[in-house]
């Protein structure tokens, strides 16, 4: 097989396996998997910015929450139906990422991390401040009757799984196409050496802004889907913790790999699930995982595989 | 409480100044100081004043020990790479917070003040302890200043700040300086916490606000500039109260956070720093 | 004939250090122009001003009559000024193919694979396509750097000490390659190897302490007393 064939086999194979999984898995795990797939979309978006382009943001919770509230408020305030509301969420995530990017991309490195963190924090506080609209700390549950696409009831298990899988597949294939496109090559060039890329005629600011907006679309879509599929919209999703989460998934699965975010989300989700069976020290697991990852496996699972000879891995 | 804020912020600023890394777990060192103060005063069979004094010494020492350990075990092996360090200290933040929750519990608990008397002025009373905190913090800050500018250890730290490679070639053990600085910065936060804990109760989530405020102070003051940090702490400590008088506390926080982000974007050298 | 590129009275100081201190240069279309001078003379800084890597403090730069003094570097590249780094600066963790592809696609050309192959074979790296750039030998990295410059299909190609670290045989290949560029591409060449300079250059500018000491044909420069004192000094011209 050529590398290209292997790549397609791998990614389409993953989607096929996930499709089959719903018939095999007990409902508890199927619901978990639906959740993981949606969170993977978020992590894929984070990976586009961080893994491929080298933008280490600590503010992605803001874009996730923008998607979630963009969707949720479109349902409740504007009376939109689920599908347009989902798209509203997607757009909200991308637009906000663009707005933050225009400012934050004037900085780099540690300053970029702090600035994105600060913007996200301000966003979170704003959600609390406008509590009368957003439901503040408690958030709100969009009514079940609103969470329908046509006659498809998204709060029922099977449609929920299918929609999660559909969005996941779309996001995955798009990401695969993106990173193998000429633009993907430029993204990586930015990560590797911005100054050199500039001297090849690329405008770093523009490239990074486009990337961040793409990343924001992913985060927004994930947030909107999460709220729609699991029926809850809340300010907790705007906290710093939800900026750390996709970073954790990406680091674990392998930054700069297409499937890495999914693998990381899957592994982390079940690690926490397992750990919380033994102890309630959930944060300790997350913290220890972060430290262990940066120390011992900065390339993550797939990154390590790629170094050990599976070089065709996109 | 501008004085305590300044103390915490100086710790963060010192670490950034000398080591060029941002310690996201700084607020947790603060929290740890307060929680340890509670443990010390609760378990030591001493009258409040002495128990508190003991805490003022023991808590920062333990926190410094933990910080030094974290530096040697984790940060050193990351070569203090700025971005990896942030990720690692976020991990540290979670671990410390969880440890406090597990061993200390979710409740806020008070620590008795070492002494109670009020300064009675004709028109209002003022807690003598608060005044004492201001004086003590001021004294410690002055001590830090003197330490940095007058002593050999301070000189070594400043030399390392300017250029770690040159410092190394002059025979300075950079690893030891880093571990020491990290520990020292953490100890300052812990000390600030012990000072404040008779006024505010100890709680496992209490590290959040000082972290945010310290960030704000350090950024406004100019990353790594001690003098800027001090001025910024005073200005912000005083204005925080004023702003929240006009706005709701949440709105005040939103404005402050956005302002800080914008300062970092448009004036990375801080409001008081010289132009780069 | 109007020159293709003109730099007038450029200044760039670093603190008290006058790295470029009122230097001027004009490039005729199609010429190979060498820029020489002792170490620290300001050559790299000067071409940094031309390529936009280093902001100009005062002076004026024109390309084909258009003022580009304050154009950002990436836009100058789009206008046809390519710069190859003195300190090798390929993307070490990307493949040789990707390194050149980045340049090819920046120039907006169709037939990516084809073009990458062409440029790589021009510098003799055709069979290194799949290797990681960082694993190439130093000399090969210099050649890759050159291929990236060529792949931008520039009007003005600035080469900063391209033969440093090349073997004698590779230098011969390099000379042939640059000679072949001559009519279509204007070359500004910083070079320490006097053989290469004397063989290739149509004109030479000598820089010293950030100022132009002399401009002329290789003949002129060889005979110029000031140049001999300041630069060639006691050395044999072909050191
Ligand atoms: N970014 C910079 N900051 C400070 N000094 C610089 C910088 N770049 C170059 N210089 C100084 O400018 C002078 C000229 O350097 P350069 O242009 O590299 O000379 P050349 O390429 O002719 O050897 C040198 O003294 C060098 O140290
Ligand atoms: Mg040079």
Any ligand 1 atom below 6 A from CB of C48: no
Can you say whether the dihedral through the CA atoms of A96, A99, A103, A109 is positive or negative?
Answer: positive
| Most confident listed range (A257-266, B114-123, B217-226) | A257-266
pLDDT at B2 over 70: no
Domain boundaries, chain C: 1-80+154-239, 85-153
Q: Which domain holds residue A69?
A: 25-240
Q: Note the Cα B90 to chain centre separation in Å.
A: 16
Lowest mean pLDDT among A171-180, A255-264, A279-288, B71-80: A279-288
Q: What are phi and psi of C214, to 5 degrees?
A: -165, 150
Please tell me the distance between residue C211's alpha carbon and the centre of ligand 1 in angstroms: 13
**Distance, CA of C198 to CA of C219 (rounded, Å):** 9
- Is the CB of residue C10 less than 8 Å from the CB of residue C23? yes
Binary contact (A290, B99; C-beta < 8 A): no
Mean pLDDT of all residues in C182-191: 90
Q: What are phi and psi of B109, to 5 degrees?
A: -125, 145
Binary contact (A290, B219; C-beta < 8 A): no
| Chain C: closest CA distance from residue A196 (Å) | 7
Which residues in chain C are closer than 8 Å to A196, comparing Cβ atoms? 85, 89-91
Can you say whether the dihedral through the CA atoms of C119, C120, C121, C122 is positive or negative?
Answer: positive
Over residues A102-140, the pLDDT tens digits come to 999 998 877 888 889 889 999 999 999 998 888 888 888
Which residues in chain B are closer than 8 Å to A102, comparing Cβ atoms? none
Binary contact (A185, C98; C-beta < 8 A): yes
Indicate which atom in ligand 1 lies nearest the CA of residue C210. Answer: 14
- Specify the pLDDT at position B127: 67
pLDDT at A15 over 50: yes
Any ligand 1 atom below 6 A from CB of C42: yes
Q: Using CB atoms, which residue from A193, A195, A200 is nearest to C106?
A: A200
- Specify the pLDDT at position A279: 66
Lowest mean pLDDT among A260-264, B194-198, C159-163: B194-198
- Specify the pLDDT at position C234: 45
Range C1-80+154-239 classified under CATH 3.40.1160.10: no
Residue whose tokens read 């490195």: A109
- Specify the pLDDT at position C165: 83
Structure confidence at residue B256 as a pLDDT band (50, 70, 90)? confident
Do strands C5-14 and B125-127 pair parallel, antiparallel, or not at all (unpaired)?
Answer: unpaired
Mean pLDDT of all residues in B9-29: 83
Q: What are phi and psi of C81, to 5 degrees?
A: -105, 115
- Specify the pLDDT at position A304: 79
Structure confidence at residue B12 as a pLDDT band (50, 70, 90)? confident
Indicate which atom in ligand 1 lies nearest the CA of residue C38. Answer: 22
Q: Which residues contact A73 (CB under 8 A, 6 or more apart)?
A: A133, A134
Q: Using CB atoms, which residue from A182, A185, A199 is nearest to C77?
A: A199
The answer, for B22 touching chain A at a CB cutoff of 8 Å, is yes
The answer, for B94 touching chain A at a CB cutoff of 8 Å, is yes
Any ligand 1 atom below 6 A from CB of C84: no
Going by CA atoms, what residue is nearest to atom 12 of ligand 1? C19
Lowest mean pLDDT among A156-160, A178-182, C43-47: A156-160
| Most confident listed range (A1-10, A114-123, B196-205, B263-272) | A114-123
Any ligand 1 atom below 6 A from CB of C23: no
Structure confidence at residue B240 as a pLDDT band (50, 70, 90)? low
**DSSP secondary-structure letter at C93?**
T
* Average pLDDT over chain C, rounded to an integer: 89
Going by CA atoms, what residue is nearest to atom 25 of ligand 1? C40
- Specify the pLDDT at position C232: 55
Structure confidence at residue B220 as a pLDDT band (50, 70, 90)? confident
Mean pLDDT of all residues in B141-155: 83
Q: Which of B22, B73, B98 to mutate to test the interface with A (most CBs of A within 10 A)?
A: B98
Query: Dihedral of the CA atoms C42, C45, C46, C50 (nearest 10)?
Result: 170
Chains that touch C (3 or more CB pairs under 8 A): A
Going by CA atoms, what residue is nearest to atom 2 of ligand 1? C14
Q: Using CB atoms, which residue from A196, A203, A204 is nearest to C91?
A: A196
Q: What letters, b where the CB count within 10 A reaches 16 and e where it falls short, cover B133-163?
A: beebbeebbeebeeebeeeeeeebbebbbee
Structure confidence at residue A219 as a pLDDT band (50, 70, 90)? very high
Long-range CB contacts for residues A205-211, cutoff 8 Å, separation at least 24 = A205/A105, A207/A53, A208/A53, A208/A55, A208/A101, A208/A105, A209/A98, A209/A101, A209/A102, A209/A105, A210/A183, A211/A48, A211/A49, A211/A52, A211/A53, A211/A55, A211/A187
Indicate which atom in ligand 1 lies nearest the CA of residue C160. Answer: 21
Binary contact (B91, A291; C-beta < 8 A): yes
**Distance, CA of B172 to CA of B4 (rounded, Å):** 32
Residue whose tokens read 């382009």: A53
Going by CA atoms, what residue is nearest to atom 1 of ligand 1? C14
Binary contact (C85, A188; C-beta < 8 A): no
Indicate which atom in ligand 1 lies nearest the CA of residue C45. Answer: 17
Any ligand 1 atom below 6 A from CB of C17: yes
As a whole-number percent, the residues of chain B with pLDDT over 90 amount to 8
Chains A and B touch (3+ CB pairs under 8 A): yes
Do strands C211-216 and C156-160 pair parallel, antiparallel, or not at all (unpaired)?
Answer: unpaired
Q: Which of C105, C107, C110, C115 to mutate to test the interface with A (most CBs of A within 10 A)?
A: C105
H or E segment and range at residue C84: strand C81-84
* Average pLDDT over chain B, rounded to an integer: 80
Mean pLDDT of all residues in B217-231: 73
- Specify the pLDDT at position C237: 42
Q: Which of A95, A64, A117, A92 is nearest to A212 (CA)?
A: A95
**Distance, CA of C215 to CA of C113 (rounded, Å):** 42
- Is the CB of residue A204 less than 8 Å from the CB of residue A197? yes
Q: List alpha helices for C60-151, DSSP H.
A: 73-78, 96-106, 112-122, 138-151
Considering all CA atoms of chain A, what is the largest pairwise distance in Å, rounded to the nearest integer? 58
Q: What are phi and psi of A184, to 5 degrees?
A: -60, -40
Phi-psi region for residue A135, left (φ > 0), alpha (ψ -120 to 50) or beta?
Answer: left
Lowest mean pLDDT among A71-85, B159-173, C57-71, C183-197: B159-173
- Specify the pLDDT at position A5: 86
Indicate which atom in ligand 1 lies nearest the CA of residue C15. Answer: 4
pLDDT at C47 over 80: yes
ipTM value, please give it. 0.88
Binary contact (A201, C106; C-beta < 8 A): yes
Structure confidence at residue C231 as a pLDDT band (50, 70, 90)? low
| Residue of chain A minimizing CA distance to B84 | A294
| Chain B: closest CA distance from residue A87 (Å) | 28
Phi-psi region for residue C163, left (φ > 0), alpha (ψ -120 to 50) or beta?
Answer: alpha
Which residues in chain C are closer than 8 Å to A204, comparing Cβ atoms? 74
* Average pLDDT over chain A, rounded to an integer: 90
- Is the CB of residue A122 less than 8 Å from the CB of residue B257? yes
Distances (CA, A) of A300 to A230, A237, C50, C140, C209: 29, 25, 42, 32, 51
The count of domains in chain A is: 1
**Distance, CA of A163 to CA of A169 (rounded, Å):** 10
| DSSP three-state, residue A279 | coil
Structure confidence at residue A144 as a pLDDT band (50, 70, 90)? confident
| Chain B: closest CA distance from residue A110 (Å) | 6
**Distance, CA of A76 to CA of A232 (rounded, Å):** 12
Binary contact (B254, A118; C-beta < 8 A): no
Q: List alpha helices for chain A, DSSP H.
A: 3-24, 27-47, 60-76, 82-104, 109-129, 131-134, 157-180, 182-192, 194-198, 204-230, 241-253, 260-278, 282-296, 300-307
Residues in C 46-65 with any Cβ partner in A closer than 8 A: 51, 53
* Ligand 1 mutation target, pool C11, C37, C40, most atoms within 8 A of CB: C40
| Residue of chain A minimizing CA distance to B21 | A110
**Distance, CA of A51 to CA of A46 (rounded, Å):** 7
C143 or B222, greater pLDDT: C143
Please tell me the distance between residue C55's alpha carbon and the centre of ligand 1 in angstroms: 14
pLDDT at C41 over 70: yes
Structure confidence at residue A237 as a pLDDT band (50, 70, 90)? very high
Binary contact (B251, A129; C-beta < 8 A): yes
Bridge partner residues of C107 (DSSP): none
Q: Using CB atoms, which residue from B22, B88, B260 is nearest to A291?
A: B88
Q: Using CB atoms, which residue from A186, A195, A204 is nearest to C102?
A: A186
Mean pLDDT of all residues in A79-104: 94
- Specify the pLDDT at position B198: 83
**Distance, CA of C4 to CA of C74 (rounded, Å):** 19
3-state SS of chain B is: CHHHHHHHHHHHHHHHHHHCCCCCCHHHHHHHHHHHHHHHHHHCCCCHHHHHHHHHHHHHHHHHHHHHHHHHHHHHHHCCCHHHHHHHHHHHHHHHHHHHHHHHCCCCECCCCCCCCEEECCCCEEEHHHHHHHHHHHHHHHHHHHHHHHCHHHHHHHHHHHCHHHHHHCCCCHHHHHHHHHHHHHHHHHHHHHHHCCCCCECCCCCHHHHHHHHHHHHHHCCCCHHHHHHHHHHHHHHHHHHHHHCCHHHHHHHHHHHHHHHHHHCCCCCCCCCC
């Amino acid at each position: 097989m050529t590398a290209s064939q292997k790549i397609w086999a791998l990614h389409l194979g993953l989607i096929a396996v996930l499709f089959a999984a719903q018939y095999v898995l007990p409902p508890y795990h199927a619901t978990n998997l639906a959740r993981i797939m949606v969170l993977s979309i978020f992590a894929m978006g984070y990976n586009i910015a961080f893994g491929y382009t080298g933008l280490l943001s600590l503010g992605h919770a803001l874009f996730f929450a923008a998607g979630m509230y963009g969707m949720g408020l479109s349902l409740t305030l504007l009376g939109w139906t689920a599908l347009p509301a989902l798209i509203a969420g997607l757009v909200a995530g991308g637009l906000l990422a663009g707005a933050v990017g225009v400012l934050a991309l004037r900085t780099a490195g540690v300053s970029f991390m702090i600035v994105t963190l600060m913007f996200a924090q301000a966003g979170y506080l704003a959600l609390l401040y406008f509590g009368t609209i957003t439901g503040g700390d408690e958030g709100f549950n969009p009514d079940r009757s609103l969470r329908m696409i046509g006659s498809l009831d998204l709060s029922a298990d099977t449609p929920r799984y299918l929609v999660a899988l559909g969005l996941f597949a779309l996001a995955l294939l798009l990401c695969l196409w993106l990173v193998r496109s000429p633009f993907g090559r430029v993204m990586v060039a930015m990560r590797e050496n911005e100054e050199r890329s500039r001297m090849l005629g690329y405008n770093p600011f523009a490239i990074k802004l486009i990337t961040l907006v793409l990343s924001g679309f992913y985060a927004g879509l994930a947030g909107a889907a999460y709220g729609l599929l699991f029926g809850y919209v809340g300010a907790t999703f705007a906290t710093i913790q939800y900026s750390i989460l996709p970073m954790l998934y990406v680091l674990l699965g392998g930054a700069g790999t297409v499937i890495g975010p999914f693998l990381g989300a899957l592994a982390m989700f079940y690690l926490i699930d397992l750990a919380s069976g033994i102890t309630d020290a959930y944060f300790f697991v997350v913290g220890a995982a972060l430290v262990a990852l940066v120390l011992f496996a900065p390339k993550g699972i797939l990154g390590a595989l790629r170094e050990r000879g599976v070089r065709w891995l996109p | 409480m501008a004085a305590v804020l300044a103390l915490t912020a100086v710790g963060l600023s010192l670490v950034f100044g000398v080591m060029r890394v941002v310690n996201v777990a700084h607020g947790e060192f603060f929290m740890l100081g307060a929680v340890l103060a509670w443990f010390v005063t609760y378990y030591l069979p001493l009258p409040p004043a002495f128990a508190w004094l003991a805490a003022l010494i023991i808590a920062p020492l333990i926190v410094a020990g933990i910080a030094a350990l974290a530096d040697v075990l984790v940060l050193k092996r990351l070569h203090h790479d700025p971005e990896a360090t942030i990720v690692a200290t976020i991990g540290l933040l979670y671990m410390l917070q969880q440890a406090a929750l597990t061993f200390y519990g979710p409740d806020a608990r008070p620590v008795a003040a070492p002494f109670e008397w009020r300064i009675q002025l004709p028109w209002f009373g003022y807690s003598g302890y608060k005044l004492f905190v201001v004086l003590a913090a001021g004294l410690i800050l002055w001590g830090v200043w003197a330490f940095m500018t007058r002593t050999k250890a301070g000189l070594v730290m400043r030399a390392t700040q300017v250029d770690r490679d040159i410092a190394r070639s002059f025979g300075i053990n950079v690893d030891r300086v880093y571990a020491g600085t990290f520990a020292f910065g953490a100890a300052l936060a812990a000390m600030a916490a012990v000072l404040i804990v008779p006024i505010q109760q100890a709680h496992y989530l209490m590290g959040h606000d000082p972290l945010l405020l310290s960030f704000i102070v350090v950024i406004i003051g100019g990353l790594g500039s001690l003098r800027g940090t001090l001025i910024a702490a005073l200005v912000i400590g005083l204005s925080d109260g004023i702003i929240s008088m006009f706005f709701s506390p949440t709105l005040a926080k939103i404005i402050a956070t956005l302002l800080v982000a914008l300062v970092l974007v448009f004036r990375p050298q801080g409001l008081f720093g010289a132009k780069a | 004939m109007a020159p293709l590129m003109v730099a007038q009275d450029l200044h760039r100081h670093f603190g008290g250090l006058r790295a470029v201190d009122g230097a001027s240069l004009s490039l005729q279309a199609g010429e190979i122009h060498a820029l020489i001078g002792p170490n620290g003379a300001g050559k790299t800084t000067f071409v940094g001003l031309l390529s936009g890597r280093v902001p100009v403090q005062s002076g004026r730069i024109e390309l084909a009559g258009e003022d580009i003094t304050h154009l950002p570097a990436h836009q100058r590249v789009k206008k046809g000024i390519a710069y190859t780094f003195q300190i090798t600066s390929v993307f070490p963790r990307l493949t040789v193919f990707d390194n050149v592809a980045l340049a090819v696609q920046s120039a907006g050309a169709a037939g990516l694979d084809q073009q990458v192959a062409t440029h790589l074979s021009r510098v003799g790296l055709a069979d290194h396509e799949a290797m990681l750039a960082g694993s190439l030998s130093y000399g090969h990295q210099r050649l890759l750097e050159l291929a990236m410059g060529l792949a931008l299909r520039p009007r003005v190609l600035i080469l900063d000490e391209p033969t440093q670290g090349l073997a004698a045989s590779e230098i011969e290949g390099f000379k042939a390659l640059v000679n072949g560029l001559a009519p279509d591409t204007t070359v500004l060449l910083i070079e320490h190897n006097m053989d290469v300079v004397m063989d290739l250059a149509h004109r030479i500018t000598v820089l010293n302490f950030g100022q132009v000491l002399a401009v002329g044909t290789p003949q002129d420069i060889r005979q110029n007393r000031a140049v001999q004192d300041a630069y060639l000094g006691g050395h044999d011209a072909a050191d």
